[in-house]
Amino acid sequence: MECQDYSLTRTMERENLNLNPLQRGGFLPLEARKALYEFSDGYSVCDYCAGRLDEVKKPSVAGFLDDLAQFLNVDAVRTVHGAREGKFAVMHAICQPGDTILVDGNAHYTTHLAAERNQLNLVEVPPSDHPQYQVRPHSYREVLDELHERGEEPSLILLTHVDGDYGNLTDSRAVGKIAEEYGIPLLLNCAYSMGRMPIDAKKLKVDFVVGSGHKSMAASGPIGVLGMKEEWTEKVLQRSSSHPVKELEMLGCTSRGAPLATLMASLPHVIERVGKWNQEVKKTRKFVAQMENIGDITQIGVRPTEHDLVRFETPLFHQIAEKHPRRGFFLYEELKKRNIVGIKRGQTQWFKCSVYGFTSQQVEYIAQSFQEIAKKQGQ
């Protein structure tokens, strides 16, 4: 059999400035790139495994998990294949089919899929209207009271720490207090926050946290993080009856090989950059101001933004697209000429972007590029 030419080369990051929020937190530092090479073979971290991946000492997976638990302030932590797998494992371990779980209206689609796969009844807490789409803690209380009046008690509350549509940072500590008051465990989805900004699970009063290594923790992935309080370890980390050394919800072993090795190698880098989170927010707010100064461009979501992911409504670019010979593709193509990527082809009514990790000079260049495109095409 003769295979096709798959063209497995990628110069996107070497040649361009990538604004895609999915990827800004996933860039590997040099140490992780070295680890990627060393552990690129399948099952490469399993050379000295005696049956439990979390107990491997060479490389020091066990030591890494201890450091990661301390970093997140949780009692136990495991790596999983992504934040979605972490959510599914928690739901499967502590809920029964037919149970009700409470989630925010900005929840990622994988929250819905995890609930559906576990045959759970999902009730949403609505966000505020346009343009903020804010998830407010008191809305959780209101929905909980409504469910209680109907005799329906949720077995789990889920909150998206930072959503992937608007970049809204929720008041998770306030929701944590409500969950604690009602005696319902709280799962915090930190896919867009763990590894970018400080996360203290106990301070936030959450029972579980999940994160994404490839989205926000500078790992090659796919890999995620699941942290929990001590009181839940017996259920979530329950051992198999047929293979007692193996943890059932982890299906024996979780992420291994290059994803795990890069996550481990990146942890010192991630810890350091989390300490600079306020600088990232300040830089993003300045970028928002520069974009809005162009005219007829508005940041959607909570203002001022508290996260690097921002969503803009851009009627200006859409009006240009309606008259441009390349229609909606003009914006993507004009940006690409300037070595800027990450905005989807054909998208001009609105778009999401992030300048996380860019230098101030790079952010200035990006903002000026949008200004030039608006001026050039608006003539």
pLDDT, one tens digit per residue, over 322-367 is: 998 889 899 999 999 999 999 999 999 999 999 999 999 999 999 9
pLDDT, one tens digit per residue, over 235-292 is: 999 999 999 999 999 999 888 899 999 999 999 999 999 999 999 999 999 999 999 9
Element (H, E) at 250: none
Q: What are the beta bridge partners of residue 228?
A: 76, 208
Q: Are residues 132 and 301 in contact, defined by beta-carbon separation less than 8 angstroms?
A: yes
CATH 3.90.1150.10 residue window(s) in the chain:
276-378
Determine the Cα–Cα distance for residues 218 and 26; give it in Å rounded to an integer: 4
Q: Are residues 22 and 212 in contact, defined by beta-carbon separation less than 8 angstroms?
A: no
pLDDT, one tens digit per residue, over 139-181 is: 999 999 999 999 999 999 999 999 999 999 999 999 999 999 9
What fold does the segment set 30-273 form as a domain?
Aspartate Aminotransferase; domain 2 (3.40.640)
Amino acid at 76: A
Structure tokens given for 88? 């599914």
pTM of the model: 0.95
Residue 13: pLDDT band (50, 70, 90) is: confident
Determine the Cα–Cα distance for residues 347 and 345; give it in Å rounded to an integer: 6
Amino acid at 241: S
CATH 3.40.640.10 residue window(s) in the chain:
30-273
Say how far residue 77 (Cα) sits from the centre of its chain. 17
Structure tokens given for 246? 């193996």
Decide if domain 276-378 falls under CATH 3.90.1150.10: yes
Supply the pLDDT for residue 219.
96
Q: What percent of the chain has pLDDT over 90?
A: 87
First to last CA, the chain: 55
